[in-house]
């Protein structure tokens, strides 16, 4: 049985939740105009990409010209699930696996990737902390 009305109901609930979040965020720690000024996603992504490329053995998966604030990566010699579990224990939330791209990953002989995401409310401190933890995963495995 097809429940077509559920999609519209879900969208309405999501929009209401988003509006509530925006209202709360403007009253709490980050007004909307400051968010857009301070945390432009393109700037965040470029900064993160440049810093990650400096880590030996670090490989960003995907070289599209116009990217969003999602970075998929692997670290040489480490399985993506292991990297994800280590980062999780360090307080960094990432996704691991095929990310609904099994066929593409099979074509390129990739077993899986670690995916980290940033949003307009991500602070510079959170980004620096995440990058520091990713780098430490690589350094710890060299021992």
| Active site members | 100
Q: Report in angstroms the alpha-carbon separations of 42 from 75, 118, 125, 134.
A: 24, 10, 17, 20
CA 98/CA 91 separation, integer angstroms: 22
CA 22/CA 18 separation, integer angstroms: 6
- Residue 86's CB is within 10 A of a number of other CB atoms, namely 20
């Amino acid at each position: 049985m097809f429940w077509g009305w559920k999609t519209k109901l879900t969208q309405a609930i999501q929009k209401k939740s988003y509006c509530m979040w925006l209202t709360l965020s403007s009253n709490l720690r980050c007004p909307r105009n400051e968010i857009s000024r301070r945390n432009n996603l393109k700037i965040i992504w470029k900064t993160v990409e440049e810093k990650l490329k400096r880590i030996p053995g670090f490989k960003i998966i995907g070289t599209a010209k116009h990217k969003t604030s999602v970075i998929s990566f692997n670290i040489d010699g480490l399985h993506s699930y292991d990297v994800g579990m280590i980062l999780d224990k360090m307080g960094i939330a990432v996704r691991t696996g095929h990310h609904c791209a099994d066929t593409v990953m099979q074509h390129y002989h990739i077993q899986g990737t670690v995916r980290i995401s940033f949003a307009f409310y991500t602070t510079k401190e959170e980004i620096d902390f995440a990058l520091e933890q990713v780098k430490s995963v690589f350094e710890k495995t060299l021992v």
